[in-house]
């Protein structure tokens, strides 16, 4: 695991259970690997504090959307949300 994942899992663990915190941290790591190599845990946690939701899942999904909105290359943040694309999302593996 990376330092980013470890730091975020620990911080998110203060807000939710360990398994969900780990998933959230790994999702941020995946976002960073694809779209923002310079993303830091401090930057993520600062943004997370601004989330307009008390529920961790909703706040995290907002965070992911906010990270994506700040990156012109990321046009769809659903894969990084807690539930991924969700039951109503298009399957990205279907091509035709």
Domain of 28, in residue numbers: 3-80
pTM: 0.85
Low-confidence ranges of the chain (pLDDT < 70): 1, 86-96
User: What is the pLDDT, as a whole number, of residue 51?
Assistant: 95
Assess if residue 94 is contained within a domain. no
Greatest alpha-carbon pair distance for the chain in Å reads 43
- How far is it, in rounded angstroms, from Cα 68 to Cα 71? 5
User: What is the pLDDT, as a whole number, of residue 94?
Assistant: 59
Assess if residue 70 is contained within a domain. yes
User: What is the pLDDT, as a whole number, of residue 83?
Assistant: 85
- How far is it, in rounded angstroms, from Cα 25 to Cα 54? 18
User: What is the pLDDT, as a whole number, of residue 2?
Assistant: 80
Assess if residue 58 is contained within a domain. yes
Assess if residue 86 is contained within a domain. no
- Three-state DSSP at 64 gives helix
User: What is the pLDDT, as a whole number, of residue 93?
Assistant: 64
Assess if residue 85 is contained within a domain. no
Closest CA to 86 of 78, 77, 94: 78
- How far is it, in rounded angstroms, from Cα 38 to Cα 60? 19
């Amino acid at each position: 695991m990376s330092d980013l994942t470890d730091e975020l899992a620990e911080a998110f663990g203060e807000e939710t259970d360990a398994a969900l915190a780990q998933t959230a941290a790994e999702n941020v790591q995946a976002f960073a690997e694809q779209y923002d190599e310079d993303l830091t845990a401090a930057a993520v946690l600062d943004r997370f504090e601004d989330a307009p939701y008390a529920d961790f899942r909703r706040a995290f999904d907002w965070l992911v959307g906010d990270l994506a909105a700040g990156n012109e290359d990321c046009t769809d943040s659903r894969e990084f949300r807690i539930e991924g694309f969700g039951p109503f999302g298009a399957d990205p593996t279907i091509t035709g």
